[in-house]
């Protein structure tokens, strides 16, 4: 694992229905102690203006829009996202090599381009879900195949389940960035995620960054929960 690329390792998912709620919650966070993620629901409602406000407040922002389209369209979208000053963007690895390479090339003109990562297998999908969509491979095998393709296509890393992180770390090397959603505290509800892991186990398994939403956003004291997570993962041997 490349520890030089770190800084705050927790990415708080701002899964809110509107800008006012998201900004109000962000006021309770500290940009020095976490990063934030804006996904499709919030971005669809609040748009680039919200992203720009969060960036101005000092947050490293992961714009989680999972682009998956023809190469020219994805390239243009990535260029527009980079223009917002975000820290990280993503595409679907299943969009293929040409699409991912086009996304990478679109960022070439930026002095400080965002990290560009690819989604392997959504953490909400299990083996049966994949079979229904034509993938006979188990999730971990498909995730490795897509991660190798992403690395070969110039991606900085992938989004993957923490359960697959050790396998992908071995396959793609120490400098390949692994971002893991599906993170839950030991006493948290599983909700709609199927392949989940605790923060300490995810870091020990090779994850670089942890996407955590409900355990923090639903907490009575979000900073206290965040600090506990940060302390727990800092104690994991490198």
Catalytic residues: 66
Q: According to DSSP H, which parts of the chain are helical?
A: 19-26, 40-56, 71-82, 97-106, 127-132, 139-152, 165-172, 199-204, 214-217, 222-234
3-state secondary structure of 191: coil
Dist CA 5 CA 7 (whole Å): 7
- Closest of 85, 15, 13, 74 to residue 44, by C-alpha: 15
Assess contact for 100 and 84: CB atoms under 8 A: no
């Amino acid at each position: 694992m490349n520890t030089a690329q770190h800084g705050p390792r927790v990415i708080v998912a701002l899964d809110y229905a509107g800008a006012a709620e998201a900004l109000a919650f962000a006021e309770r966070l500290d940009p020095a102690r976490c990063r934030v993620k804006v996904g499709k629901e919030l971005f669809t409602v609040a748009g680039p203006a919200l992203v720009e406000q969060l960036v101005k407040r000092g947050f490293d922002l992961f714009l989680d829009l999972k682009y998956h389209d023809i190469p020219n369209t994805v390239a243009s979208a990535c260029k527009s996202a980079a223009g917002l000053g975000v820290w990280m963007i993503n595409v679907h690895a299943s969009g293929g090599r040409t699409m991912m390479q086009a996304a990478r090339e679109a960022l070439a003109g930026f002095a400080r381009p965002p990290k560009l990562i690819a989604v392997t297998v959504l953490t909400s999908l299990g083996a049966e879900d994949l079979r229904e969509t034509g993938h006979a491979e188990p999730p971990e095998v498909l995730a490795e195949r897509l991660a190798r393709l992403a690395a070969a296509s110039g991606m900085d890393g992938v989004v993957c389940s923490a359960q697959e992180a050790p396998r992908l770390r071995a396959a793609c090397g120490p400098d390949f960035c692994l971002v893991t959603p599906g993170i839950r505290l030991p006493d948290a509800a599983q909700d709609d995620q199927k392949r989940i892991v605790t923060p300490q186990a995810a870091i020990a398994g090779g994850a670089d960054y942890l996407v955590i939403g409900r355990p923090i956003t639903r907490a009575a004291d979000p900073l206290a929960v965040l600090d506990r997570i940060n302390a727990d993962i800092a104690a994991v041997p490198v």
